A and B are shown apart, each in its own frame.
Chain A
Amino acid sequence: MTLKDSRNKLQESINQTIDYVDSLLKAEGLPIIKEQKTNNPLWVDVREIDLRYQLPVKKVERFFSALKEGKILATKCPKCGAIYFPPQDDCPNCRISGLEWVEMPTEGELITYTVINVKPPSFSHYGDYIVGIARMSNGVNVLAWVNAKEVKVGMKVKLRVTRREPEGYLTYEFIPA
């Protein structure tokens, strides 16, 4: 299914519900349905909310611009040496900000994984996907999709930048090393 198809499908099911509530309102004057399994009367909300958050990324913007250069960056505290991935610009241990940007190593070893069979609706346009956690050669763990046919704990993986289709945004993934 393409992204557009899945969005249309979602919108279609929302429209169906709205149409149904509208017809109920016209006929009965009340948006009350009988739940299929229990026959309990349920008031179907006549208000709706479309949640799409806007997440501030200013302090780690460098991470995203580096993806365009094919690099995956972490931050490093110049004082205590802690490496942060996902990156953050503040070291709580040393209470300093403006950490250094360092490149993450590409070599890692898969320490665990799962295959997501039952997906959230917003991921329903993908096939079953593998999510893994790998310990990278600098000792820092990374969680990402594993782009591989077969996986097992202990396998060597490579971390790389990828373009997530069908949305087309830059992110990162593991592939077999």
Chain B
Amino acid sequence: MRNVAIIGTGHTKFGVRTDVNLQELAWEAIKQALEEANLEPKDIQYFSVGNVGSWSAEELPAIVVGEYAGLCPKGTMRVEAACASGSAALREAYLAVKSGEVDIALAVGVEQMHQSPNPQVVELIGRAGNYFWEFENFGLTFPGYYALHATAYMAKYGAKQEDLGEIAIKNHYYGARNPYAQFQKEITMEEYLNSRMVAYPLKLLDSSPITDGAAAVILASEDVAKKITDSPVWIVSQGVASGSANLSRRTDYTHIEAAYLAAQQAYKKANIEFENAWKYFDVAEVHDCFTIAEIMAYEDLGFAKRGEGYLLAREKQTYIGGRIPVNVDGGLKAKGHPIGATGVSMAVSITRQLLYRAHKGTQVDVKNGMGVAHNVGGTGHYAYVTIFSTRRPST
């Protein structure tokens, strides 16, 4: 198996992007990534497309994007792992290069949720679990699935509504400094506490928005990467796991087991000690589709002990300068959450952070040259944890 490096990144403005269609949106990110790597579409030997769709019209997004971006006739597929589809697309391209099948691959994540009215998106996203037993009969919504976790977590550990609010405030603080973010606006605790309830105990300001956006990365094998760039960012390891479709088939609602398992795998391959994981990383991107998800991520990644994740938020330890900076690009909460693009967006953010290319006011100190991305699909139905480094991994 070979080392794999990121040699080009692309990221569109996130938000309401009805100024373009799905393939035009994907192309914005792909074009940027090609320019960074100084490559042409024909140099890409394989590409994967993270897209969930159903709210957008194209049923075969991979070839629609491939045709528009000049990537045909190279092999491709659309990759679906719910909100972790971007990381799944990254994995697909990563394995293609790592295995030696190809030397250069591209992963693009794209989602255009504003092709449908908001109520229809609520309807479709509520079906993302077990359709019959949880949606058809009991009308769960996406905030509802995470609210079940928030209730259990708060009851067990005594976390307060304000602790969840701290996550939203932090992520909006950094979103305000990220020109790609959907919400470039800070919020106050008062605004948070006054925002309307969507699924008790989660409020509107606990929730990531409905977003259009795309992100792309180009991956290359070690030999090729060395010829193309002086500053590759290596994918050190990736862990991947899944959780039951029916939430009722799980035993615990205070953490996301799949994310914990994925972290264990990724850490083991990278020789990272779980209990001290935060010491290894300069920056983390975690899946904050709802504020409670970021708190559980702190624990599933070993940044805090079980039941103490909310204290990291309360003590503001995840701002730049704290124990570990988390979601300093605004996270899903403020940057936006274009479902299929989010995982790739995380990889782009970390790559740019490690190369000191983050936006003003969001750059972390790079001491170890390492970052971690935690991307959850559904409510812990899928989980991907990926570790990035500026230092070449030993094979």
Give the chain A neighbours of B250 by CB distance below 8 A.
141
Cβ contacts under 8 Å, A77 to chain B: none
Q: Which of B140-148, B171-179, B217-225, B227-235 participates in binding chain A?
A: B140-148
Q: Is the beta-carbon distance between A112 and B248 smaller than 8 angstroms?
A: no
Distance in angstroms between the alpha carbons of A115 and B18 in the assembled complex? 33
CA distance A133 to B249 in the complex (A): 10
Task: Name the one of B19, B148, B200, B201 contacting A38, with C-beta atoms under 8 angstroms.
Answer: B19
Question: In the complex, which of the residues A38, A45, A117, A122 has the most CB atoms of chain B within 10 Å of its own CB atom?
Answer: A117
A144 at the interface (CB under 8 A from B): yes
Residue in A116, A122, A143 whose beta carbon sits within 8 Å of that of B246 in the complex: A143
Given contacts A116-B144, A143-B248, contact A111 B200 (CB under 8 A): no
Q: Is A37's CB within 8 Å of the partner chain B?
A: yes
Cβ of B198 under 8 Å from chain A = yes
Closest-CB distance, B185 to chain A (whole angstroms): 16
B126 close to A (CB within 8 Å) = yes
A85: chain B residues within 8 A (beta carbon) = 248
Residues of A within 8 A of B197 (CB): 115, 117
**Is there a chain B Cβ closer than 8 Å to A145's Cβ?**
yes
- Whether B122 pairs with A118 at a CB distance below 8 angstroms is yes
Q: State which of B57, B131, B199, B253 has its C-beta within 8 Å of the C-beta of A45.
A: B57
Q: Which residues of B contact A112 (CB under 8 A)?
A: 148-149, 151-152, 155, 253
- Binary contact track A100-120/B, C-beta < 8 Å → 1, others 0: 000000000001111111111
- Tell whether A142 is near chain B: CB-to-CB under 8 Å: yes
Give A40 to B246 CA distance when docked, in angstroms. 40
> Restricting to A17-38, which residues have a CB under 8 Å from any CB of B?
35, 37-38
- Do A114 and B18 touch across chains, with their CB atoms under 8 A apart? no
Count of chain A residues near B, Cβ 8 A? 36
A35, A115, A118, A171, most chain B CB atoms within 10 A? A118
Q: Name B147's closest neighbour in chain A (CB-CB).
A: A114
Q: Which residues of B contact A40 (CB under 8 A)?
A: 18-19
Q: Which residues of B contact A117 (CB under 8 A)?
A: 196-200
**Residue A81 is within 8 A (CB to CB) of chain B in the complex:** no
Chain B hits for A144, CB < 8 A: 137-138
B249-A131 in contact (CB<8A): no
Contacts of B147 in A (CB 8 A): 114
Q: Measured between C-beta atoms, what is the minimum distance from B293 to chain A in Å?
A: 14
Given contacts A118-B122, A121-B122, A153-B155, contact A143 B134 (CB under 8 A): yes
Q: Encode B135-173 as 1/0 by CB contact (under 8 A) with A.
A: 101111101100111111001000000000000000000
CB–CB B141/A116 < 8 A:
yes
Question: Closest residue to B254 on the A side, CB-wise?
Answer: A112
Provide the residues of chain B in CB contact with A119, threshold 8 Å.
122, 139, 141
List residues 37-72 of chain B with CB under 8 A from any CB of chain A: 57
Residues of B contacting A45 with CB < 8 Å? 57
Question: In the bound complex, do residue B19 and residue A120 qualify as a contact, i.e. CB atoms below 8 Å apart?
Answer: no
Question: What chain B residues lie within 8 Å of A114 (beta carbons)?
Answer: 144, 147-148, 150-151, 199-202
Q: B133 within 8 Å of A by Cβ?
A: yes
Q: Is A116 in contact with B140, judged by CB distance below 8 angstroms?
A: yes
With both chains docked as a complex, state the minimum distance between the C-beta of B380 and any C-beta of chain A, in angstroms.
Answer: 14
Q: B270 contacts the other chain (Cβ, under 8 Å)?
A: no
Which of A37, A133, A164, A171 has a CB less than 8 Å from the CB of B148? A133
A86 at the interface (CB under 8 A from B): yes
Q: Output the nearest chain A residue to B16 by Cβ-Cβ distance.
A: A38
What separation, in Å, do the CA atoms of A92 and B284 have in the docked complex?
A: 37
Q: Is A80 an interface residue (CB 8 A)?
A: no
The distance in angstroms between the C-alpha atoms of A144 and B137, with both chains bound, is 8
For A86, A131, A152, the residue with the greatest tally of chain B CB atoms inside 10 Å of its CB is A131
Given contacts A112-B151, A141-B250, A142-B248, contact A122 B123 (CB under 8 A): yes
Most buried by A among B19, B139, B143: B139
Q: Does B188 sit at the interface, judged by CB under 8 A?
A: no
In this complex, the member of A37, A45, A86, A120 whose beta carbon has the largest number of chain B beta carbons within 10 angstroms is: A120
For residues 24 through 74 of chain A, which have their beta carbon under 8 Å from a beta carbon of chain B? 35, 37-38, 40, 42, 45, 55
Closest approach, in angstroms, between the C-beta of B54 and any C-beta of chain A?
Answer: 10
Complex CA gap A35/B19 in Å reads 10
B132 within 8 Å of A (CB atoms): yes
Q: Could you pull out 5 A-B pairs where Cβ atoms are within 8 angstroms? A: A40-B18, A55-B131, A112-B148, A119-B141, A131-B144
Which 3 A-B residue pairings sit nearest by Cβ, starting from the closest?
A114-B147, A123-B139, A112-B152
13 extra A-B contacts, CB within 8 A, seeds A114-B151, A116-B139, A119-B122: A38-B18, A86-B246, A112-B151, A113-B148, A114-B201, A115-B199, A116-B140, A118-B199, A122-B139, A131-B138, A131-B144, A143-B134, A143-B248
